[in-house]
Amino acid sequence: MPSDNPKIQKAFKDGVITKGQYDKLSDGLLLGIIKKKGSRTAKSSKDERGAKAKPKTKPKSKGVKEVRKKTGKEKGKPGRPKSGSMVKVEK
Strand partners, 88: 67
pLDDT reported for residue 27: 92
Domain count, the chain: 2
30 Cβ contact list (under 8 Å, min separation 6) = 3, 5, 8, 11, 17, 21, 22
Residue 65 above 50 pLDDT?
A: yes
pLDDT reported for residue 80: 78
Query: Where is 10: in which H helix or E strand?
Result: helix 6-14
Residue-number span of the structural domain to which 23 is assigned: 6-42
- The values of phi and psi at residue 83, to 5°, are -65, -25
pLDDT (tens digit, 9 = 90+) per residue, 10-52?
999 999 999 999 999 999 999 999 999 875 544 444 555 556 6
Q: Which residues of 20-39 are buried (b: 16+ CB within 10 A; e: fewer)?
A: ebbeebeeeebbebbeeebe
Are 37 and 65 members of one domain? Answer: no
Q: How many residues does the chain have?
A: 91
pLDDT (tens digit, 9 = 90+) per residue, 6-16?
999 999 999 99
pLDDT reported for residue 1: 58
Please check whether residue 78 lies inside any domain of the structure.
yes
Please check whether residue 55 lies inside any domain of the structure.
no
pLDDT reported for residue 42: 46
pLDDT reported for residue 34: 92
pLDDT reported for residue 69: 80
Please check whether residue 51 lies inside any domain of the structure.
no
